[in-house]
Amino acid sequence: MRYDRILIRYGEMSTKGKNRNRFVVQLKRNIQKKLKAFPNIKIEYMRDRMYILLNGEPHEEIMEQLKTVFGIQSFSLAMKCKNDIEQIKATALAAVQQVEGKTFKVSAKRIDKQFLIGSNELNHTLGSHILRNTNHLTVNVHEPDIDVRVEVRKDGTYVTCYDIPGAGGLPVGTSGKAMLMLSGGIDSPVAGYLAMKRGLEIEAVHFFSPPFTSERARQKVIDLAKKLTRFGGKIRLHIVPFTDIQQTIHRQVPDGYSLISSRRMMLKITDMLRKKYNGLAIVTGESLGQVASQTLESMFVINDVTTTPVLRPLVSMDKTEIIAIAKKIDTLDISVLPYEDCCTIFVPSAPKTRPKREKVVHYESFIELEPLLQTAVANTETLIIDEEFSAEKEFEQLF
């Protein structure tokens, strides 16, 4: 007798009341996409949990994939049997023999009240059966190596022995769609990860300024987007040509305000793409007080170009906290590659940290920026990135 299914617990989704079914259906859809390489699995779901029936597929690889699916609180290998005490005893013994440990306890729940044996009696019966039929196990009810969890439900009895923490959060796609401003630095991929954790589907927007930024910088952003697809599935990456706008601002706007003006135009273009692709918000990697453009005064002036919600998941984090998440999601090594992006070129020697809205609007009034913005949007290149995306595939799509 082997483990034949994986039990998935929902966590936060359990609080969604009448909307719960919508979240559960989206979670099932996301899991199906994640596990498309395992054609024999079958997914069943109910109000408070979901089961993946393995049907011979390798559970180790499937469980590794489940760790990156948002909406899962925890999951466990499980066995199911009929509500028959002899079958439950045999299943509990088989389950405990397949995991490592020296001590155990039994935690039984009789959810089906028609079952004749109560939880306490079930604990004693199953514990005695395991002790009689194993040589190396002893009971420890406080800190056991193995917690044999037995749930007697109407549709059958489920046995699990250990839980694996899931990614938590909400299923990607349940909170709408937002545009992520993806620069290539450490912060914005982390912001994208946290946005997806709250259920947002993201499309990424990157500003590219050749010849001042290189093809390597462009590839770096593609690689970062590819890392994020592990958590949210396919990501549409918009690469916006920004050279003309950036050079115009550099020539026409006083040095101290050129950075603020560039950021305003980036936000404006991102908002134009948001409208085009039916997004509801913009996500940035800004953290309050980190650089000149991220003081509260600067954020106020930059934000002035749009009424669209701008979400800043990192706003209260310090750099150490952000780096810790970047390591966890495996984007840090890519982010620190020394290729300049449009945020690191044309940087003024003394950027304003307390800019005045009236001044930047006045400086921009001498430039015809709107045609440049329209041209940039019209010439934006869009790539569909997934976990298998490669430069070779991108090349093939050109023909």
Please state, in angstroms and rounded to a whole number, the distance separating the CA atoms of residues 59 and 77: 8
Per the structure, how many domains does the chain have?
2
Q: Domain boundary residue among 107, 133, 165?
A: 165
Q: Domain boundary residue among 165, 187, 211?
A: 165
Are both 183 and 158 inside the same structural domain? no
Please state, in angstroms and rounded to a whole number, the distance separating the CA atoms of residues 371 and 352: 27
Identify whether 369 is part of a domain: yes
Identify whether 170 is part of a domain: no
Binding positions: 181-182, 206-207, 263, 285, 294
State mean pLDDT over 227-251: 94
Domain with residue 92: its CATH number is 3.30.2130.30
Q: Domain boundary residue among 145, 165, 185?
A: 165
Are both 296 and 370 inside the same structural domain? yes
pLDDT tens-place string over residues 220-231: 999 999 999 999
Binding positions for ATP: 181-182, 206-207, 263, 285, 294
Please state, in angstroms and rounded to a whole number, the distance separating the CA atoms of residues 196 and 181: 14
Supply the pLDDT for residue 393: 52
> Which domain range does residue 324 map to?
177-397
Phi/psi zone of residue 361: left (φ > 0), alpha (ψ -120 to 50 degrees), beta? alpha
Identify whether 250 is part of a domain: yes
Are both 131 and 255 inside the same structural domain? no
Are both 152 and 183 inside the same structural domain? no
Domain with residue 278: its CATH number is 3.40.50.620
Choose among 65, 58, 30: nearest CA to 45: 30
Are both 182 and 161 inside the same structural domain? no
Supply the pLDDT for residue 239: 96
pLDDT tens-place string over residues 85-132: 999 999 999 999 998 999 999 999 999 999 999 999 999 999 999 999
For the chain, state the CA radius of gyration.
27
pLDDT tens-place string over residues 121-152: 999 999 999 999 998 899 999 999 999 999 99
- For the chain, helix, strand, coil in percent to 5 are 40, 20, 40
State mean pLDDT over 280-297: 88
Contacts of 252 (CB under 8 A, 6+ apart): 363, 366, 367
Are both 214 and 142 inside the same structural domain? no
For the record, the structure tokens of 260 come out as 């603020």
Q: How many CB atoms lie within 10 A of CB 196?
A: 29
> Has residue 398 got a pLDDT over 50?
no
Are both 198 and 117 inside the same structural domain? no
Residue by residue, DSSP assigns 206-264 as: EEE-TTTS-HHHHHHHHHHHHHHHHHHS-EEEEEEE-HHHHHHHHHHS-HHHHHHHHHH
